[in-house]
Amino acid sequence: MDNEIFEALFEIVTFFNQPQQDRDLLKRAEISLEPAALPIIVRVGRQPEISIGELANQIGRNHSSVSRQVDKLVKAGWLTEVERRDQRIRRVTLSPQGQRALLQVKVAREAAFRQRLAGYSDVDRSELAHVLQRLAATLNEQD
């Protein structure tokens, strides 16, 4: 049973990590942004004032790569650098343009999920949401 849970989660993570999924989502949201930037926009939206180091760690990329990508996103108006309290640590937040884009992505993602889960009853979707929220909380517990 535990292996079946792991295998299912692995398939879900694989699905979400495919660059084509990000391309499709950006197209559906009508946002002109390179797919590699989407995880940055989403993570910064979920954690305003996140540091570049934390961001790199959470999306699984190296610091210098994320720093360069963030520079591009700041220059293009998607992100805003937060005033530095500590000169060694760079923090970013979404600009108004980035906030609008994140909202468009959220709406597009919800529409895509509604379409994918159309065969699920309301009860099934509610139960799925509850179990996934419980699993997420369990996985995020500190030992």
Q: What is the pLDDT of residues 2-55, one digit of tens each?
A: 789 999 999 998 988 888 999 999 999 999 999 999 999 999 999 999 999 999
Report the number of distinct structural domains present in the chain: 1
- Report whether pLDDT(87) > 90: no
- Report whether pLDDT(98) > 90: yes
- Distant-in-sequence, close-in-space partners of 139: CB < 8 Å, separation ≥ 6: none
Q: What is the pLDDT of residue 19?
A: 86
Domain holding 126: CATH number? 1.10.10.10
- pLDDT-above-90 percentage for the chain: 79
Q: What is the pLDDT of residue 143?
A: 61
For the residues 98-114, what does the mean pLDDT come to?
95
Band of pLDDT at residue 84, cut at 50, 70 and 90: confident
Place of tokens 């591009």: 72
Check if the beta carbon of residue 26 is closer than 8 Å to that of residue 105.
yes
pTM here is 0.85
Q: 23: how many CB neighbours lie within 10 A of its CB?
A: 13
For the residues 52-73, what does the mean pLDDT come to?
95
Backbone angles phi, psi at 50, to 5 degrees: -70, 145
Range of the domain at 118: 2-140
